[in-house]
Structure formats: C-alpha cells, structure tokens
Amino acid sequence: MTQFQTDPAPSRATTGATLLEVEDLHVEFRQRSGVVSAVNGISYSLAEGETLAILGESGSGKSVSAQAIMGILDVPPAVVSGAIRFEGRDMLAMSAEDQRQVRGPGISMIFQDALSSLNPVYSVGWQIGEMFRVHQGASRKEAKRKAVELMDRVRIPAAAKRVDDYPHQFSGGMRQRVMIAMAIALDPRILIADEPTTALDVTVQAQVMDLLKDLQRETGMGLILITHDLGVVNEVADNVAVMYAGRIVERGTVDDVFTDAGHPYTEGLMNSVPQVEAKGGRLQPIVGQPPNLAAIPSGCPFHPRCARRRLGAEAAPGRECSIDVPPLRLVASGREAACHYSEEVLGVRAV
Amino acid sequence: MTDQQQADLRKDEIEAGTTTGLASPSVDPTSDRQNSLWSDAWAALKRNPLFWIGAVLTVLFTVMAIVPQVFARGQDPRACDLANSRALPSADHWFGYDVQGCDYLSNVVYGARNSLIIGVFAVVVILLLGVAVGAIAGYFGGVTDGILSRIADIFYALPLILGALVLLRVGPETSIPIINSRGPGAVALALALFGWMTAMRLVRSQVIAVKSSDYVAAARAMGAGNTRILVRHILPNAVAPVLVYTTITIGVIIAAEATLTYLGVGLQRPAFSWGLQIEAGQSDVRDAPHLVLFPSIVLTLTVMAFILMGDALRDALDPRQRA
C-alpha cells in the first residue's frame, strides 16, 4: 500500500518539532474465521502543540490505530506492522521494556469510559500516584502529595479531601478528570484522547475539552483526539484526518476540510450534521453500513455507499471506483484526499 | 464470576457508593479506608446471624487450640486411671472417661490444636498454589494455560481422600521432609496437594475476566509492567470468590483429616486427634456411646463454623444475594 505513503499535510497552528510519525501502519486481527484488517496503511505525523483529530465512524479503525500506538493491543491475535516513530525512534522495533518506558512519560492515553478504566478497588489518589511510583520510584507519601497537586491542576474541587475516594464516588465528569490527571501526570509529550467526551453530557464535554486545551497550552504537548463528534473537532483541532475502513480518506486543516470536503465520505459526514442555515430541511444520512473489516470492498472501500461513484463505462480509465484503489493524493494546497474524483467534490460546499 | 455478575457487582458498588458518599464524605486524607466492596461486605456480614454463629465458634475453637488448658477444667489429658475406664459423663467430668481412664473432655479439647493446624496449614498451601498457578495460567493464557490446566485436570482425576491416603501410606518410606514424618505437616501437605485445583480454577477464571477490563488496558497504557498489572490490578479484583472458597475448605480439610486419621493413615497415637478418638471409641459404641459422640459433635461444630462463615462471606460478596 505504498500509494498511501505521502508527505504529511502541512499544518495550521504548529511550529514545533515533529513528535510522532506513523508510517504505513497496518493492524490485522487473525481470527479463525479469517483476517480482520482494522487498519490498512495509515500515515500521519504530529508536531509539538498540534491537535490532530482522527474522525470516523465506529469500526473505522481510529481507536485500534491509537491502541497500536500505545502498544496495548494483545499480540496475537493482533498483528501490527509499519512504523511508529516517537521522537525518531521506532516503537515497534523497541524492546518491550523500552516501550514500557515510553508509555506514561512519552505517550499517554485517556480512555472513553472513565469508570471502567479506573480500578474499582483503589482510591483515585493511589491510581494517580501509581504513575510516580512506577516511573519515578516515588514513595507512597510523595506520590499522594503529587496526586493531590494533579487533581488540583485538572480542577477537581476539594482535591485534598477527595484523594482517598474511590472511582465510583465521583461523577462522570470528575472521573474523566481523574483519568486526565493520570494521563498527564508525567507531562507526556503526546496525549491520545480516545473519545474523551463521548460518555459525558454536553456541558461537561465542553469543560473537559477546555481543560485539555489549557493543559496543551501549558505543556506544549501534542494531542491526538479520536472522536466521531464533528462539533468537538471543529472547536479544538488544528488538523483532521478522516478515517474510513481502516484508511485515511481525507486530511487537511480543520477549517479547510469542514468548509469544503474533498472526499464524498467527508461530504456525507458534514451533510449528516444539523446546520443552522439548513433549518427545516431534512438531514442527509450516508446510506448503508460501514464495511465488514473482514471483507472490505474492492477498489475504493467507500464505493458501495458513494453517491458519486463511477462504475464501468462512466469511469475514466484506471479510475473505476469498484476496481482501482484511490491513493491518498494532494488535491489542493494542503489538502489530501483518497478519491478518484475529488476535484468534483471540492467546491461543492464552498460558500 | 461471569461478566454479568461483575457488571452487577460494579453497578451495586455504584449504588452503594452514591449513598455512602453523600452521607459521609471522607474528610481524613490520611486514613486508610477499605474499598467499598469490602466495607459493603462487612456491613452485610454484620447483619447475618449465621456469620456470627460461625465466627463465635471459630474464635472459640481457635482459642481452644492455642490454650487448651483453659478449657480442660484443670484436667491433664495424659493423667489416666484405668479404674475410670469408659466412665460415663458426670458433673465433674463432663465428657466422662475414655478406655484408658483419661479425662475425655481434656482429650477432646487438646484435639482442636491438630485439627486447626492441619486445616489452616493445608488451606494456606492451597491458597498459595491456587493463586500462583491460577494467576499465571489466566494471565498468560495460551500454551502456559494449557499445560497448567491439564496438570490441574490430572490432579482432579485423583480423589482427595484416595490421593492423600496413598501419599501418606508411602510417605514414611520416602526421604522427603515433612511427608515422611506422619505428623500434622504431612497430613496437611497431602490434603493440600490433592485439593488445590478448585482454587486454581477459580483464580484462573477470575483473572481471565478481569484482565480484559479497561482499567488493565489503562494501567498498561500508563507503562505498568506485567508483574505490577497482575499483582496490583488483577489479583485484588479476583480474590473475593477464592477467599470464600478457602474459608469453606478449612472445614472440609478438617473433616478430611479426621477421615484419614480414622482410616489409620493420618495422625498416629499418642497424638490428640478427633479422628483417632472416634476410631478408638467405635468398638465400644454400645457401652460407651459418649466416646464417639463428643469428638463427633466437636468435629461437626468446627467444620460447620468454617462453612457457615464461608457461606456468609459468599453471600456478602455477591450483591445479588443481598436483600
């Protein structure tokens, strides 16, 4: 899948050094019933202070790619190939012990469901403090003191009193803050947030996203935001990569992609969101279902659902949607899309 | 426990935690409070009369094992007078006399020590073996799990009493320490060796259920190593059913010890043992039924005490059993 290896898209708000380079990442799950290809050759990079949103439906491979970066997939059945370079070093080539050293201080992760991601038998202070005990060999007392500081930093009220409370004694938003406190404990260079606000209500969502942005400003960390929430992406992200069936189908700055999609799938996503201007009109959902990752359609994986597909005689030579796999290519300045007819999609929604 | 049970458990914790959290917010940041599963379990235990019966009996027999003199009413179990042989219970000698004319109450009381030592020692070995083997099998899975589980299956094929009987029969002829001694240590080890598999299976299934939970993935994402994940994150969430099982098993082991001793392969005279006393008394059961009756009653009460506590603990740790 070398055609997917293209230069990383220029980014909008970043000036920092490159922290993470993902190159031609593949993740397969070998099962008795066959091979499930969850991630099929994605490449992207992340710079200091950059927020990259990875957008996609359930089953598009966005969470699996993050788990592959964190090294928390069970291998086997998962098979990870490609390169994941953190500050220039390929994590897939590292020893397990070296990888473990990167997790925490280098790359850290926030999970979607904070309640199930916190151990029910330990107090939150113990769990936050564990980071210091594991990576810095801090004493219990020292770890606890730092845990209280962190809880203050993520704005948990009365942190000193609540440090000994258990996860179930916190509200959903506070639990997510505890998760964030754990994730940022060692000032990671990269924070991966896997649907950090999906389990929260809207007001709390906004607070959590604000908190993440503030923390990013303080520390200059790179933030990878995995979500299917277009509103969140629009508000906080610099760049966006849209994933479909384990591939990146479009990449660019949030402003560009959101104002004028370059791939029919992105276009479909945008049309399925209520718009103030389109008040009273019907929403246009994307027809059909995301593909079964064990049997990804030939050619462009999106073609069975695509309104703009060209099959047979309609198609230009070498650009038949059900036969030829469209490479991720530069379609406009700073824009990449994996569609044979991207130029026809671009400009449709331009205001 | 199944995933559903675990989900229920977690849900119950949330519900229980909400109320306790509101009623008594923690104010002492230095206190080492128990987690809610255990504090809830304790609250449920406190209300269970069966637990208290079991607990009082257990404490009673434990004290009896440590300081039997206190319970022997001033009698020396070794001071015997054949003139009193098989005398029936009286106001001075509540349990009467045995065949040798020894005070039977003191004999029965002194028997508690061996029973409890064997019960507790065997269960500690069962717990160590079961948790270690079960945790490794469940956590690493694959070939490791296959080999360890098949070994457990082989031991399962040997009945507890039969296996222990054979081992104790051939034990004295070997040069293995403890096993060749015919003392309480040999009996306990023999029973533990053929009784650890259920504990192992319990731990294994628990570890498998817990290891796929999000907080284990989270711990790994934070850079925790295998040992830390297994010991700190998985085992504390997996021990509850094993604890229940081992409490009940103490009772079962004590009964099994009496059986082995009765069959003549366990403890040997002149040790004090309820099994030995029942065995010695059986030939005189028509003339002196108290010789079988009293050690049997005490044996039954001891076994019952542990089983009652285990049952109460199981109910307390399983929220679905709670009213």
- Provide the pLDDT confidence category of residue B165 given band limits of 50, 70 and 90: confident
Residue B240 is part of a domain; what is its CATH number?
1.10.3720.10
A144 chain-B contacts, CB cut-off 8 A = 29
- Provide the pLDDT confidence category of residue A202 given band limits of 50, 70 and 90: confident
Q: Has residue B89 been placed in a domain?
A: yes
The reported pLDDT for the residue numbered A261 is 84
Best to test chain B binding among A69, A118, A133, A169 (most B CBs inside 10 Å)? A169
- The candidate with the shortest Cα–Cα distance to A68, out of A301, A313, A246, is A246
B164-186 average pLDDT score: 82
pLDDT tens track for A300-317: 888 888 888 888 777 778
- The closest CB to that of B17, out of A103, A105, A169, belongs to A169
Q: Has residue B62 been placed in a domain?
A: no
> In the β-sheet with A78-86, what is the strand arrangement from edge to edge?
A34-47, A18-31, A78-86, A89-90
- Provide the pLDDT confidence category of residue B200 given band limits of 50, 70 and 90: very high
Quickly count: other Cβ atoms within 10 Å of residue B2's Cβ.
9
Q: Do A161 and B29 touch (CB under 8 A)?
A: yes
A165 chain-B contacts, CB cut-off 8 A = 21, 26
Q: Has residue B160 been placed in a domain?
A: yes
- Range with the lowest mean pLDDT among A128-142, A181-195, B41-55, B169-183? B169-183
Q: Has residue B131 been placed in a domain?
A: yes
A105 chain-B contacts, CB cut-off 8 A = 223
Model pTM?
0.73
**What is the spatial distance between Cα A279 and Cα A270, in angstroms, rounded to a whole number?**
15
**What is the spatial distance between Cα B30 and Cα A35, in angstroms, rounded to a whole number?**
52
A259 in Cβ contact with A349 (< 8 Å): yes
Instruction: Locate the chain A residue with the closest alpha carbon to B28.
Output: A161
**What is the spatial distance between Cα B218 and Cα B224, in angstroms, rounded to a whole number?**
9
The reported pLDDT for the residue numbered A139 is 87
- The candidate with the shortest Cα–Cα distance to A248, out of A43, A1, A92, A48, is A43
Q: Has residue B140 been placed in a domain?
A: yes
Range of the domain at B274: 67-301
**What is the spatial distance between Cα A24 and Cα A7, in angstroms, rounded to a whole number?**
12
Best to test chain B binding among A166, A174, A178 (most B CBs inside 10 Å)? A166
DSSP assignment letter at A105: T
Q: Do A102 and B223 touch (CB under 8 A)?
A: yes
Quickly count: other Cβ atoms within 10 Å of residue A78's Cβ.
18
The reported pLDDT for the residue numbered B34 is 42
pLDDT tens track for B230-277: 888 888 888 888 888 888 888 888 888 888 888 888 888 888 888 888
- Provide the pLDDT confidence category of residue A177 given band limits of 50, 70 and 90: confident
Instruction: Locate the chain A residue with the closest alpha carbon to B21.
Output: A169
The reported pLDDT for the residue numbered B4 is 52
The reported pLDDT for the residue numbered A284 is 78
The reported pLDDT for the residue numbered B205 is 92
The reported pLDDT for the residue numbered B137 is 94
- The candidate with the shortest Cα–Cα distance to A152, out of A127, A172, A181, is A181
With a CB cutoff of 8 Å and minimum separation 6, the contacts of B2 are B209
Q: Has residue B46 been placed in a domain?
A: no
How big is chain A by its Cα radius of gyration, in Å? 21
Q: What are phi and psi of A177, to 5 degrees?
A: -65, -35
Chain A positions with Cβ closer than 8 Å to B: 67, 70-72, 100-105, 108-109, 111, 113, 115-123, 130-131, 134-135, 144, 148, 160-166, 168-169, 179, 182-183
- Range with the lowest mean pLDDT among A251-255, A276-280, A289-293? A276-280
pLDDT tens track for A76-122: 678 888 889 988 888 888 888 888 888 888 899 988 888 888 888 88
B219 chain-A contacts, CB cut-off 8 A = 119, 130
pLDDT tens track for B74-84: 788 888 888 88
Half-sphere exposure of A332 (CA within 13 A, CB side): 18
Question: Between these two residues, A15 and A86, which has the higher pLDDT value?
Answer: A86
Chain B positions with Cβ closer than 8 Å to A: 10, 13-14, 17-18, 20-21, 25-29, 31, 33, 35-37, 213-215, 217-225, 228, 232-233, 236-237
Kindly report the CA angle at A290 between A108 and A60, in degrees rounded to 5? 15
Q: Does the structure show a pLDDT above 50 at B11? A: no
- Range with the lowest mean pLDDT among A180-184, A278-282, A289-293? A278-282
Best to test chain A binding among B5, B8, B222 (most A CBs inside 10 Å)? B222
**A and B: number of Cβ contacts within 8 A:** 105
B115-141 average pLDDT score: 91
The H or E element spanning position A55 is strand A51-55
Q: Has residue B317 been placed in a domain?
A: no
The H or E element spanning position A42 is strand A34-47
The reported pLDDT for the residue numbered B134 is 93
Q: Do B36 and A166 touch (CB under 8 A)?
A: yes
B33 chain-A contacts, CB cut-off 8 A = 123, 164
The H or E element spanning position B169 is helix B160-170
Q: Do A161 and B225 touch (CB under 8 A)?
A: no
Three-state DSSP at A332 gives strand
With a CB cutoff of 8 Å and minimum separation 6, the contacts of B96 are B86, B87, B88, B89, B90, B104, B288, B290, B291
Q: Does the structure show a pLDDT above 60 at B21? A: no
ipTM: 0.76
- Provide the pLDDT confidence category of residue A11 given band limits of 50, 70 and 90: very low
Number of domains, chain B: 1
Instruction: Please name the residue that has the structure tokens 């700190």.
Output: B232
pLDDT tens track for B115-126: 888 989 999 999
Q: Has residue B271 been placed in a domain?
A: yes
Kindly report the CA angle at A227 between A225 and A233, in degrees rounded to 5? 70
Q: Does the structure show a pLDDT above 60 at B28? A: no
Q: Do B223 and A100 touch (CB under 8 A)?
A: yes
